């Protein structure tokens, strides 16, 4: 298990037909040697599992990865779940350049993001 820094950028959407390098996330997650999310390592590394959400025209949001009833979410305010952004089947994804991950954002819309790099 190793902590990795992952950059996700918005994939094609009706509003962004070419995707966008100005909208996305930077995650710090423990990954297995195959590039999957290491759920077994999360309890010991939870404080290091951070996120920065960046979106053109908006202030950056800083948060953390949390475990929720139906899986995993990004949370920006620990006192409420109103801002939580569920990650679609995080445990099944491979974090490798060119792969995709879906996130249901604050507005309730699920958007797809492309893995740009893993360091």
Q: Which helix (H) or strand (E) holds 44?
A: helix 42-45
What percent of the chain is modeled with pLDDT above 70?
A: 99
Give pTM, 2 decimals: 0.93
Per-residue confidence at 70, pLDDT binned at 50, 70, 90?
A: confident
Per-residue confidence at 52, pLDDT binned at 50, 70, 90?
A: very high
Q: What is the pLDDT of residue 1?
A: 66
Which residue reads 């879906």 in tokens?
102
Phi then psi for 47, rounded to 5 degrees? -65, -25
Q: What is the pLDDT of residue 106?
A: 85
Residue 69's Cβ-count burial label (10 Å; 0-12, 13-18, 19+) is exposed
Tens of pLDDT along 11-21? 998 888 999 99
Sign of CA dihedral 78, 101, 43, 26: negative
């Amino acid at each position: 298990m190793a902590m990795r820094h992952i950059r996700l950028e918005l994939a094609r959407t009706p509003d962004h037909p070419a995707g966008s390098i100005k909208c996305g996330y930077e995650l710090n997650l423990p990954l297995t040697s195959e590039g999957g999310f290491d759920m077994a390592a999360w309890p010991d590394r939870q404080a290091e599992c951070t996120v920065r959400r960046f979106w053109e025209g908006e202030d950056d949001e800083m948060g953390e990865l949390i475990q929720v009833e139906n899986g995993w979410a990004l949370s920006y305010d620990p006192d409420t779940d109103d801002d939580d952004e569920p990650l679609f089947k995080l445990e099944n994804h491979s974090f490798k350049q060119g792969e995709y991950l879906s996130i249901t954002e604050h507005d309730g819309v699920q958007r797809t993001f492309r893995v740009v790099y893993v360091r």
